[in-house]
Structures are given as structure tokens and as C-alpha cells.
Structure 1
Amino acid sequence: MNRSKDTLRDRIMHVLSGAPIPMDVENVRIKSGLKNWESTKALLLELVVEGVISGQKTTK
């Protein structure tokens, strides 16, 4: 894994660790300061697969 990806994951984990309620991808993206929704989603899915965070599929 490269350094920038580690930094992005750390930013996401920091945001999630302080969240009082579950967050959607868009809110994680905004609060983490990331620009791309797809990249944020991919990083979150990696964290779910690794068992670091839990996630659930929802529909609007």
C-alpha cells in the first residue's frame, strides 16, 4: 500500500472514530476532505472487507 492511500485511510478512520452515528459515503467524503466519491467508497469497502469497520447496504 502506498503512503497516500494510508493517509486517506487514516483520515477516514479519524472521522469514523468520532462519529456518534453511522455515516454514509458522502458524509465521510466531505468530513475527511476527500474529493472523489468513488475513491472514498472503495477505501470504505476495503476497510469493511478487512474487518476494520462494519458497513451495510442501504437504498435511498
Structure 2
Amino acid sequence: MCGRFTLFTDIEEIIDRFDIQAPFNDDYQFSYNIAPSHSVLSVINDGTKNRLGYLDGD
């Protein structure tokens, strides 16, 4: 069985916690059953700043 996890934090809290500077206009929704094959909201660092994006599980 593959590991699954949840992500149910408010988007404003994620933006504040990880100091996201770029605007995030995507439709973020809570999920209580993220599987390895799902796309998941992720904090991505480019070496100088954090941004939000989706990583595919494929």
C-alpha cells in the first residue's frame, strides 16, 4: 500500500508560513486523501524565493 496524506490548511496560512511572494490564483481545495498519483500543491524554491505550484504524481 502506498502512502497517502492530507492537506487541509487554509491557503492564506500557507502563503504566510512559507513567505510566498508571487500571487497564487489557482483553485486550491482541501484534500483528505492525497494519493501518490494525484497532483499536489507544493512550495517550490527557486534558490531565492518560494512560490506555489502543483507537482504531478504521474
TM-score computed with the length of structure 2 as normaliser: 0.30
More strand by share: 2
More helix by share: 1
Higher radius of gyration, 1 or 2: 2
TM-score computed with the length of structure 1 as normaliser: 0.29
| Larger RCO: 1 or 2 (CA < 8 Å, sep 6+) | 2
